A and B are shown apart, each in its own frame.
Chain A
Amino acid sequence: GAVVSQHPSRVICKSGTSVKIECRSLDFQATTMFWYRQFPKQSLMLMATSNEGSKATYEQGVEKDKFLINHASLTLSTLTVTSAHPEDSSFYICSAQLQETQYFGPGTRLLVL
């Protein structure tokens, strides 16, 4: 199957700092990637749809200035959590679209102190 990687897998940062998470499709090109957030024991919550070469589409309630998304190439999308606060602590997971299926990265656990 298609492989999607995420980096870092875990990150701990201080409140007020910014954190960048990378999502890469390793063996295919993806014009569309997705960023999700998952709270413990809950389902995935779509944050935004990232389109290569254009602005991301954010879901209602997601602050685009706080969660900056850049999809600079067909294999890389980045999510930057700006001025992170403890309430941003969560599991962030990306996916890349290949034909009809979304393939997910392994996720990034963010802990903001």
Chain B
Amino acid sequence: AQKITQTQPGMFVQEKEAVTLDCTYDTSDPSYGLFWYKQPSSGEMIFLIYQGSYDQQNATEGRYSLNFQKARKSANLVISASQLGDSAMYFCAMTPTGNQFYFGTGTSLTVIP
């Protein structure tokens, strides 16, 4: 069975500081994809970053980077230089097939001015 775990229900970070949101996963599939989505209060799920299980390098997208540690089965999201607009729910997701996605329970991030 596939499982995604986000252990931080809520996080606070000072504006302009970096923050790491944790995500661990459990799968027996040899290949899979890992994703992070941002959900602001409006409800829309915004795609942030993708990491393939066979990718050698950690994915980066602007201020977002994914700290992928395959042996530990972790895919933490690092947001650098936090902005007030980063306050939102963040969901980690995994897909072993490219079709069905499995989501974590989410982490609520609050950026403090």
Whose C-beta in chain B lies nearest to the C-beta of A45? Answer: B103
List chain A residues, Cβ under 8 A from B52. Answer: 100
Q: How far is the CA of A106 from the CA of B46 in the complex (A)?
A: 9
A100 and B33: CB pair below 8 A?
yes
| B20-52 Cβ-contact flags toward A at 8 Å (1 or 0) | 000000000000010101000011111100101
B12, CB-defined interface residue at 8 Å = no
For chain B, the count of residues having a C-beta within 8 Å of the partner chain is 22
B105 to chain A, nearest CB (A): 5
**Interface contact B105-A42, CB-CB below 8 Å:** yes
Q: A89 in the interface, Cβ–Cβ < 8 Å?
A: no
Contact, CB under 8 Å: B33 / A44: no
CB distance from A4 to the nearest CB of B (A): 9
CA distance in complex: A111, B5 (Å): 30
Asked, given contacts A100-B33, A100-B50, whether A107 binds B100 with beta carbons under 8 Å apart, the answer is: no
Determine whether the beta carbon of B103 is less than 8 Å from that of A49: no
List B residues at the A interface (Cβ < 8 Å): 33, 35, 37, 42-47, 50, 52, 91, 93, 95, 98-101, 103-106
13 A-B residue pairs with Cβ-Cβ distance under 8 Å, sorted by A, are A32-B99, A43-B91, A44-B45, A49-B100, A100-B50, A101-B50, A102-B35, A104-B44, A104-B47, A106-B43, A107-B43, A107-B44, A109-B43
